[in-house]
Structure 1
Amino acid sequence: MAVQAAENDGINVEEDHLNDSLGNPGLISPDKEDLSRLLTVPFSGRIRGGMRPGKKIIVMGIVDLEPESFDVSLTCGRSEKEEPPYDVALKLSARFTDRQFLRSARVSGKWTEEEASTVYFPFIPDQPFRIEIHCEHQRFRIFVDGHQLFDFYHKVKSLTSIDTVRIQGDLQITKLG
């Protein structure tokens, strides 16, 4: 059974590359480029139409053999000049040295305090994982490998302005949706 991003929304990998669902052959480009090249880390891809309640982002990957950390962020805009972008609606940070899965946001140029309350650390070196970020009216709900880990209440109120997924660190991306 195909797992689809809500309402067939997808992530544009570069300008013309689109992933509508995890059940499709994957990222489809007009010139049939190699998928592994499109999913290289660091990764930046557009969320078509921005976020809204009912939409979800799925990141599937494999943790590197000797990881230090990796981040998955939902940001406002794709400005390559400003690092990080002006507003970061959600930044999920997996830190292996202290086995923490942190979350934070950046609004009007200022980072919020990192939240760190998780019951367990869900990532294992050299093992696959699946992160689901569900957008609801008041919050993001984060699942890893089917287990709900935490909620993160919206700091960026304009959900449609959240239009980019950024992934970096010690992992390989296998699928996006």
Structure 2
Amino acid sequence: MSPGEKLDPIPDSFILQPPVFHPVVPYVTTIFGGLHAGKMVMLQGVVPLKAHRFQVDFQCGCSLCPRPDIAIHFNPRFHTTQPHVICNTLHRGCWGVEARWPRLSLQRGAAFLLLFLFGNEEVKVSVNGQHFLHYRYRLPLSRVDTLGIFGDILVKAVGFLNINPFAEGSQEYPVGHPFLLTSRRLEVPCSRALPRGLWPGQVIIVRGLVLQEPKDFTLSLRDEAARVPVTLRASFADRSLAWISPWGRKTPISAPFLFYPQRFFEVLLLCQEGGLKLALNGQGLGATSLGQQTLEQLRELRISGSVQLYCVHY
């Protein structure tokens, strides 16, 4: 399986905690409930062309001093004459004996899908759906409660899943489906029909990635006559967010500007009596007023600007 293949979405029932999109590395996060046999951690990303090395650490805590124990240290190295992967364990400040795998399945400049599958006595690691290595635990898996990602790696998504949700037949390995999929239907500018307009309680969710040198982002709602009763516009030049009226009047949204180049974003519009309530990256940013008749007459959602879309849901 190729990391860029178009596949069905991951079933929500197998996701143990919210996935993380485009985190800034170094990245450290809590593993809800810790690790135990039957969990999987999936990492989707790209190895930079000039990558030296990176590491994925399953840690026993997140303190800086003293340094926490590391139950599983997964460390691909690209700068040597023979690229390889090192696995090891850090206990009370001392590294154990290195375990080395010389045939590195990860390539500079290439996308990848790493899957860590935790069993009773060892972790198995697959790369792009193919088994790569297994590493026997030297510390109890129950002590692990933190994931750390460091070094030369571009992470697109991190997922925490139940074991084997994608098993096919008697395969030893589940097939990990990417969280972030590519689709022609999500190419920008993007349009979606709203056949019945909007009603109180409906939610529009737009998720995506801000491009590296962004100019603007626009989300507009149009009615049957192609009029635009409401537009949400983000300007990256002056880092402003505003509602634009049908007559071009700009109503600034007084809130921190939460769009960042090369970072994931989520825009949520909640339809309620009298208008639309806005949230960006989980933070409420107020509302705009619209009559119920206007909301019911909306027929199209349009998205344009300097973004790559991952999801448009309503």
Aligned counterpart, 1:146: 129
Given the alignment of the two structures, is residue 77 of structure 1 paired with residue 61 of structure 2, yes or no?
yes
Given the alignment of the two structures, is residue 9 of structure 1 paired with residue 16 of structure 2, yes or no?
yes
Larger Rg: 2
Report the residue type matching 2:106 in the other structure: F
Report the residue type matching 1:131 in the other structure: L
Unaligned runs of 5+ in 1: 11-17, 20-26, 28-34
Given the alignment of the two structures, is residue 67 of structure 1 paired with residue 48 of structure 2, yes or no?
no
Report the residue type matching 1:165 in the other structure: L
User: Shift of residue 160 of structure 1?
Assistant: 2.6
Aligned counterpart, 2:36: 52
Report the residue type matching 2:27 in the other structure: F
Q: How does 1:127-146 map to 2 (within 5 A)?
A: 127-146=110-129
Q: Is the Cα contact below 8 Å between 1:56 and 1:134 reproduced in 2?
A: yes
Q: Which of 162, 166, 175 is 2:144 aligned to?
A: 162
Aligned residue for 1:160, secondary structure, equals helix
Q: Give CA deviations for 1:42-69 in whole Å, capped at 9, x if unaligned.
A: 0101111000011011111111121110
Q: Give CA deviations for 1:80-125 in whole Å, capped at 9, x if unaligned.
A: 333xx3310101111102201111011233211111134x211111
Identity %: 21
Q: Which of 155, 158, 161 is 1:173 aligned to?
A: 155
Question: Quick one: distance in 2 between partners of 1:104 and 1:114?
Answer: 5
Report the residue type matching 1:9 in the other structure: L
Aligned counterpart, 1:92: 74
Report the residue type matching 1:95 in the other structure: R
Unaligned runs of 5+ in 2: 1-7, 160-314
Question: Quick one: distance in 2 between partners of 1:5 and 1:101?
Answer: 32
User: Shift of residue 4 of structure 1?
Assistant: 6.1
Report the residue type matching 2:9 in the other structure: A
Normalised to the residue count of structure 2, the TM-score between the two structures is: 0.45
Residues 127 and 46 of structure 1, relative CA distance in 2, 3 Å threshold: same
**Structure with more of its chain in strand, by fraction:** 2
RMSD: 1.9
Question: Quick one: distance in 1 between partners of 2:135 and 2:60?
Answer: 17
Q: Is the Cα contact below 8 Å between 2:62 and 2:68 reproduced in 1?
A: no
Question: Quick one: distance in 2 between partners of 1:45 and 1:56?
Answer: 15
